[in-house]
Chain A
Amino acid sequence: MVCVVSLRMGAYPISVRDIVSTLFNAATGRREEIPVEFWQVVFGLRLPRIALGILVGASLSTAGAGFQALLRNPLADPYVLGVSSGAALGAIVSLIVAPHTVGAIQMAAFVGAASTIAVVYFLGRRGGQLDSPTLLLAGIVAASFLSAIIMFLLTMVTGSELRSIAFWLMGDLTAPPPTTNVLGWLGFLFFVFIVAAGAMYTTSSDLNLILTGEQEAKHLGVNVNRVKFVVYIAASVLTGLAVSVSGAIGYVGLLVPHVMRMLFGTDYRMLIPTAAIGGAIAIVLADTLARTVVAPTELPVGAMTALAGAPVFIYLMRRRMR
């Protein structure tokens, strides 16, 4: 339903009926009956963008849920922790160094994400213990430091392969696919998502126990180090994946798992899939709004999520400080 609404909305007017008949005709192989402009709008522009939105939203939410368990902090989110900025920096470096290698940008974004979270993790400790305010401060400092490097790099290097500073810092879904084989490209991205999210899902009952306390989880027979390693890698892959195609979209990884916890409880066996679905819906909705509120110009989708996410972050933080 969200997808249809999202297909309907946009600078080019197209009715729900036309969308349905376009999709129907396409599904039944009668492409010649579809008006060319409808085909262009639905299949050329909006559907790939929705698919990208689903991918990015699901990845960021799952990564957020993972980081929250890994760091035992309900405020953890790829953007807040600076992990998205790290991934963005990695992606930019790969675009400068090896602009035409397939998959290099995703790999580099993953490396950027994984190194950032490792640094933030060690900066966020006090007296050998993870300390919530220190961790968040470390994340925010890392994010602004990395953002500065991103601005510096993008100002110094002007290449046609590189997207704007705003894309990497705020995030949007306007990036054109890097190849003409859109389906193959989306397939690759979704494959990586399934593998990483699936790996995280296999640890979900362990994560439930780790959230109650790492020591207690050990007493109950959880191999805590192995679980943390899997989640660390999976969450970094997911963040890198999302950032490599959409830039650093914030707060989805915070907002969506939190809402899903309120709706379905804290059990990670429920939380991971619901967060993935919820994140997909949230990004597609946010992107639809971003495309339409000031049409025909577009807001970055990251601006929409920040508008919704920042107040919730403050609310959660104040509630915890009490």
Chain B
Amino acid sequence: MSAGGGAVALPQPVRPGEGTSLRLKVEQASYAYAATDRSAPKFTLGPASFEAQQRELVAILGPNASGKSTMLKLLAGLLKPLSGRIEVDGTEVSELDLKVRAQKIALVAQESELLFPLRVWEYVLQGRYPYGKRLRFESDEDCLLAGNALAQVGADALRDRWMDQLSGGEKQRVILARALAQQPSLLLLDEPTQHLDIGGKVELLRRLRRLADENRYTVIVVTHELNLAAEFSDRIVLVHKGKFPRIGTPAEVYERELLEEVFEAPLEVETGYSGRPRVILRATR
């Protein structure tokens, strides 16, 4: 994968000649946390198997501490699976060189605190790091791609603002823009809707859907938003206490008994306006 691959005008991850549309392949992947190297694992995850094609949006759902974020870290290559394989574009993720990995996979983590003031523009340009040579300043191509990334999230106007002066929604868009500037095949997001109001949540999911449809990204999002996930995603990965009780389309996963057991709440599943399942809480005092 060359830096930019000649596709200067459009920040699309797809290079000419790329044959298969299969982006992500998870095969019997598992992981375990332990207090020390020798003690019995405190928490085990998996094994999990699923796939994601290009243009697909996959939601990872589950209660707190179920293993969602660990799954995402495995996909990002930050953790090495204990067993099984995780392949992106046909290569085992944990074996990729750090920079090559950052060219294939972008991770939008939960918010971090900035120590020194930084402009939006400088922040988005950081996304070009994996393509840079040591000590080289950004090229015109880097600037063009960073500009495109900002435009894709509708944040052109924020360019010269300071990061710490942005609202939650604006900040989220800028963080997403930096991830897009990486030109990844796989876009991973860890609870991106957390600090957004309801309008912001819908807007973000719409944007991710559009990125998948129009720009052929594969988007994997960890979220607590059951209804938005059902509405926007192609595939749901349900996680519960480190196990994967069901993986499939929203219609296949959203069954009342299953969701009630996983989320430990009285729920009702019905069909929404769009024909996709919808979850409502059975109000009980």
Binding site for B on A (CB under 8 A): 72-74, 201-202, 204-205, 208-209, 211-213, 215-216, 218-223, 261, 265-267, 269
Contact = CB atoms under 8 A, between A and B. Distances in A.
Contacts of A202: 134-135
B129 interface: yes
A51 to B, nearest CB: 27
Contact of B98 (A72, A215, A223, A265): A223
A136 B183 CA distance: 40
B118 A212 contact: yes
B188 to A, nearest CB: 9
Given A72-B115, A209-B126, A212-B123, A219 B106 contact: yes
B156 interface: no
Contacts of B113: 213
Contacts of B112: 212-213, 215-216
7 contacts: A74-B116, A205-B136, A212-B112, A220-B130, A221-B103, A223-B98, A269-B137
B132 interface: yes
Contacts of B136: 205
Given A205-B135, A212-B114, A221-B98, 7 more contacts: A204-B135, A213-B109, A219-B76, A219-B107, A220-B182, A221-B130, A266-B117
Interface size of B as a range: 20 to 34
A269 B133 CA distance: 13
A216 to B, nearest CB: 6
Query: Interface majority SS on A: helix, strand, loop or mixed?
Result: helix
Contact of B102 (A201, A205, A221): A221
A202 B136 CA distance: 10
Contacts of A212: 112, 114, 118, 123, 126
Interface string B126-161: 110110101111000000000000000000000000
Interface string B89-104: 0000000001111110
B87 interface: no
Contacts of B260: none
A208 B113 CA distance: 14
Interface string B153-188: 000000000000000000000000000001000000
Interface string B215-255: 00000000000000000000000000000000000000000
B78 interface: yes
Given A205-B134, A216-B109, A219-B106, A211 B115 contact: yes
Nearest to B101: A221
B132 to A, nearest CB: 7
Nearest to A132: B115
Contacts of A219: 76, 78, 102, 105-107, 109
A222 B134 CA distance: 11
Contact of B135 (A74, A201, A216, A218): A201
A267 B122 contact: yes
Contacts of B123: 212
Contacts of B134: 202, 205
B102 A220 contact: yes
A149 B127 CA distance: 48
A261 B78 contact: no
Contacts of B182: 220
Interface in B67-95: 76, 78
B126 A220 contact: yes
A319 B234 CA distance: 48
A220 B105 CA distance: 9
Nearest to B119: A265
Nearest to B129: A220
A209 B127 CA distance: 10
Contact of A215 (B105, B109, B117, B132): B109
A209 B106 CA distance: 14
Nearest to A73: B115
Contacts of A211: 115-116
| In the A-B complex, the 7 residue pairs with the closest CB atoms | A221-B102, A213-B112, A221-B99, A221-B130, A221-B98, A266-B116, A219-B107
A220 B188 CA distance: 13
**Best-surrounded residue of B112, B116, B122 (most CB of chain A within 10 A):** B116
A264 B145 CA distance: 24
Given A211-B115, A261-B116, A266-B118, A221 B135 contact: no
A312 B117 CA distance: 18
A61 B50 CA distance: 52
Nearest to B96: A221
A82 B77 CA distance: 38
